[in-house]
Homo-oligomer: A and B are copies of this chain.
Amino acid sequence: MKLHYPNGKKYTPIAEQTKNTSKKKHNYGNRGMTLEEDINVTNQFYLEIGKAVIHKKPTPVQIVQVNYPKRSAAVIKEAYFKQASTTDYNGVYRGKYIDFEAKETKSSTSFPLNNFHDHQINHMMLVEKQMGICFVLIRFSSTDEIFYLEAEKLIKFWHRMNQGGRKSITKEELATHGHPISLGFQPRIDYIKVIDYLYHFD
């Protein structure tokens, strides 16, 4: 398969483009990896040691036109990015359903709630009702601080905004209501440690 990179630029998923473009050059020991990359290697590590089976869902795409060249693979010639109706990551840990979304912000003081869509919040509410383990991972890219915030608490901040309150969660609120995760080597972002603590699995 030939790879065409127009203008010599590598294709970057749309989800990444809308985020902080400076995040690929951290100087805090995470070797220039995006939050998504860090989570992918974490999930890969969990998979390899048999700890959990958690995957990122494929990017949803609306396919419009496909060519079928003779003796070659089908080529998608026209397609569009669709808004995800669920969160990006899900899987299983000790029989339990795990579901989460990961977001980063370049703000150093608060996390803007417009990083989430109504659809995603709605999905999280449904998963909560169904007793799944649901949360978000939030990274402040300027300082590499990562917080695990339970969906239940995110939803409360979401309601506060909808009732005319602030449109973001301050870092202090995240420190109070969430759980900081320090970057490690293997796994990079050990979010299951927080799950073990919250649900008394350890």
- A32 in the interface, Cβ–Cβ < 8 Å? no
A67 proximity list for chain B (CB < 8 A): 6
Across the two chains, which residue of chain B brings its CB closest to A47?
B126
Contact in complex: A53, B93 (CB < 8 Å): no
Binds B, one of A72-80, A148-156, A162-170: A72-80
Across the two chains, which residue of chain B brings its CB closest to A6?
B65
Contact in complex: A81, B73 (CB < 8 Å): yes
A59 proximity list for chain B (CB < 8 A): 58, 61, 63
Write 13 A-B pairs (CB below 8 A) sorted by A numbering.
Answer: A1-B80, A4-B64, A6-B67, A55-B85, A58-B61, A59-B61, A61-B76, A61-B79, A73-B80, A77-B78, A92-B127, A95-B97, A95-B131
